[in-house]
Amino acid sequence: MEFASSSLSSSSSSFLTSEPHFIHDVFINFGGEEIGRRFVSHLQSVLLQAQVKTLISVENLQEGMKLEEQLRAIGGTKITIIVFSKSYAETTRCLLELEKIIECHETFGQIVLPVFYEIGPSDVRYQMYDFGKTLEETAHRSYSGEQRKYALSKWNRALTTAAVMTGWDVRNFRHDAELVDVIVNRVKTLLDYKDLFITEYPVGLESRVEDVIKCIENQSTKVCMIGIWGIGGSGKTTIAKAIYNRIYREFIGKSFIENISSEGYLAMQENLLSDVLKSKLEVKSVGMGRTMIENRFSRKKLLIVLDDVNHIGQLENLCGSREWFGQGTVIIITTRDFHLLNQLRVNYVYEMDLLNGNESLELFSWHVFRDAIPKKEWNELARNVVVYCGGLPLALQFLGSCLCDRTIEVWEILLLKLQRIPPDELLSVLKISFEDLRDTEKDIFLDVCCFFIGKEREYVTEILNGCGLHADIGITVLIERGLIKVERNNKFQMHPLLQEMAREIIRQECPEKPGKRSRLWFPDDVEDVLKENTGTEAILSLKLDSSIRDCFEAHAFKEMQRLRLLQLDDVQLSGDCGHISKELRWICWRGFPYKCIPKNFHLENVIAIDFKYSLLIHLVWQRRVVLERLKFLNLSHSKYLIETPDFSGLPSLEQLILEDCPSLRKVHQSIGDLSNILVINLKDCTSLRYLPREIYKLRSLKTLILSGCSKLRPLEKI
């Protein structure tokens, strides 16, 4: 393994000289002048309008392109569209192109999309009827003797291979224009040319990106693995995104999995497969996922970025062997753990260096003054702050955001705090941003960090408002301070360094007695507290995941009477669940182990219930209850649930999620009483036959999802 640092010289040369080098996005292979004038010309026109670089055989013949040049051009194309027609087999050139297309597909995973235009797939596959006769005639006209047999053998194989690929039959469409739109949309989805957002102020980024690309250009192995190593907040993710944007067009498929440490193995494998193959796939086990990756990716030239890897298992189950991938594949791994890169035997490790003095001052100035240089009267103060940030981009960004539009007096107070902190204790530098928050804002920050990363902003806001934290305002403050981010699909994200800071803040509340801390989310601490029954009223939130397989006594929760947030993943409790706090506002219990809600299970004040993968059969209580505050009810993937609850006891419900409940047969007629309901998701409830007429009373409903309800009778027209 070679080790590279930022001392490498810059390179402005084009990326990757190894074959294949992609010049075009799409090649259209067809035969017949008539189909070329009609369907193919229409298809090419719409592709070009969509800014898809398209090459078609007839066009280049007119320009005098030789056959050898044409075949080389096919090898520099990501996607081939083959238009099979009655006249397809009349042209030798067309069939030779097909041979090359299949070769490229089998060598590096070129995507092949067949279109059957006025001819059936079976005619092509088996070379039947007039199509087969025409093929024989073309072979006799072009070759003789053994050459003829050899050519026919190769053409037969290529036609059979192409005919069984997923494509389109024109007979299934009303007109050519409809088919063209479907094809172009599929091509655009496969190409997916969308740059990732990198950063608003890319100070010092370009030279570092060039250094890493130089490492990749120098690779000589079949599959190149690059490690980007550095401390939290040093810009590993930022540089990985910039590299991805620069080079992803050179690959058949691509995937950027961000914050990989927050994902389970199955979710990671599904994300990777879906990104590359552009279709949603279900992975039922980790072993199955490994096999699918190996089988589906083995001939494809891919770009894969795995961001924030912290465990060797993440790598083993996503890129365990170079043999899983096609020639020219590049895998980029960002991590804070150098040992992981050694274990994987990456080709190069690029060490993130911190920003130098000038770069640090410029980045800080952009965040504080929206300019590359400090304002004159703040110049000396700005330089002093920069010194204490030690070149760490994240610290510069956060302190810059914290001091934006503040007075000189506030700056001076901050500097007095900084002077009491050793420069190398970067977590402590970031903690200053936390200490400047109000108490409710601190609580929101710690709760988001512990429980709500990856959750939707509106969902979290409702829950934390129910805890009395004024989350509408508090979340806005945290975003403005750069302590949390709202990213794709309006979901929360947080930098790992800030999560480390939050963990340390929680630990320091009571280092020796976890049961007296406000939040429990370290597995060992939770296990100790529940086993030793040492919980106290100090505990506001608790998380227990499936890494601990013990069954705990519900009695262990008895002293946690202020518990408001509870997350349990595949956890068994024995005894009376009535011991769980009446102050509970959010309960997320994956794999809820009961067939119905236990007696004295206090949920009266709960705002959100998430019982995914539960064993519930009936969602009924052993006594009549009204959940006045419940707004979110998620019972998705509950395989045994046969009917919904009586909704008259849920007057505030806004979201009802029952996706993939295959035994669900009945929706209670009281659903018409849900005057605040916004979303009902019944996707893939395959046993559901009808909905009650009362559903038409729902005037507030915005989203009703019924896809996959294969037995559902058609809804009456309203």
Q: Active-site positions?
A: 97
> With 0-12 CB in 10 A as exposed, 13-18 as middle and 19+ as buried, what is 427?
middle
Quote the tokens at residue 98: 């097909």
- Which string of DSSP letters, residue by residue, matches 26-75? EEEEE--HHHIIIIIHHHHHHHHHTT--EEEHHHHHHTT--HHHHHHHHH
Return the DSSP state at 610: E
150: helix, coil or strand?
A: helix
Rounded Cα–Cα distance for residues 159 and 126 (Å): 8
* Nearest 10 degrees: Cα torsion 410, 416, 422, 423: 40
Dihedral sign (CA 311, 317, 323, 326): negative
- The CA-CA-CA angle for residues 680, 682, 685, to 5°, reads 165
Crossing angle between the packed helical segments 379-389 and 408-418, to the nearest 10 degrees: 30
Quote the tokens at residue 106: 């089998």
Nearest to 518 by CA among 564, 586, 556: 564
Crossing angle between the packed helical segments 236-247 and 205-217, to the nearest 10 degrees: 60
Return the DSSP state at 650: -
First to last CA, the chain: 68
Rounded Cα–Cα distance for residues 3 and 346 (Å): 10
Rounded Cα–Cα distance for residues 665 and 6 (Å): 62
Alpha-helical (H) ranges within 117-175 are: 121-126, 129-142, 145-163
Rounded Cα–Cα distance for residues 243 and 522 (Å): 35
Rounded Cα–Cα distance for residues 716 and 31 (Å): 49
Residue position matching structure tokens 């520099």: 76
Quote the tokens at residue 609: 């219930």
Question: By the 8 A CB rule, do 523 and 543 touch?
Answer: no
491-493 and 485-487 strand pairing: antiparallel
Rounded Cα–Cα distance for residues 43 and 181 (Å): 8
| Per-residue buried b or exposed e for 116-137, using 16+ beta carbons within 10 Å of the residue's own CB | bbebbbebbbebeeebbebbee
586-590 and 608-610 strand pairing: parallel
